[in-house]
Amino acid sequence: MTEPALTLAAEDAEDLDIISARLQDAVAPLKEMVYLPRKRRFLGLFNRFKWEDKRAGANLRVRSLLHFDDVLSAKSRNLKLGAPDAVVSLLAIRFTPKGGEDPGGEVELVFSGGGAIKLEVECLDVGLADVGSEWAARGRPGHDEG
């Protein structure tokens, strides 16, 4: 039996933590991520590991679209932008608020190997939706201790 497609939205840091957990170990080629300055939108199409699937031996992935709206700027660090087919693995998404009454701040997508994408946002307006069928993953992602 297939799990229902995941659809999540985030408007605060706690909501974003849930999306971050669902996207831990998601992989994507850099060409599947784009910043659209005129639309103030950042999009990423990831192959997400389905951590929430608790069936015995269920090592599954699914295509998932992540979007951030109200994005004022996007910058990258330690990513091979000249190599669009380079695949990155997402570890976490973090939000640092500006503080006070300002709903804006900085979102950081943290990738293995020290790469990152930083988005300056007017406010948190984030969505994650599964957009394809699941398939068997080659294995279960693992992390080195320390």
Identify which has the larger pLDDT, 122 or 137: 122
Distances (CA, A) of 110 to 37, 42, 74, 91, 95: 21, 15, 13, 6, 11
Dist. CA 59–CA 54, nearest whole Å? 9
Model pLDDT for residues 64-93, shown as the tens digit of each residue: 999 999 999 999 999 987 888 999 999 999
Domain ranges of the chain: 7-135
Q: pTM surpassing 0.85?
A: yes
Model pLDDT for residues 21-59, shown as the tens digit of each residue: 999 999 999 999 999 999 999 999 999 999 888 777 788
Give, as one character, the DSSP assignment of residue 85: T
Dist. CA 26–CA 68, nearest whole Å? 17
Model pLDDT for residues 47-57, shown as the tens digit of each residue: 999 988 877 77
- Residue 1 pLDDT > 50: no
What pLDDT sits at residue 146?
A: 47
What pLDDT sits at residue 13?
A: 94
Nearest to 120 by CA among 77, 68, 43: 68
* 52-63: b (≥16 Cβ within 10 Å) or e: eeeeeeeebbbb
- Residue 2 pLDDT > 70: no
pLDDT band with cut points at 50, 70 and 90 for residue 143? low
Distances (CA, A) of 32 to 18, 53, 103, 140: 22, 25, 28, 22
Mean pLDDT over the full length of the chain: 92
What pLDDT sits at residue 141?
A: 85
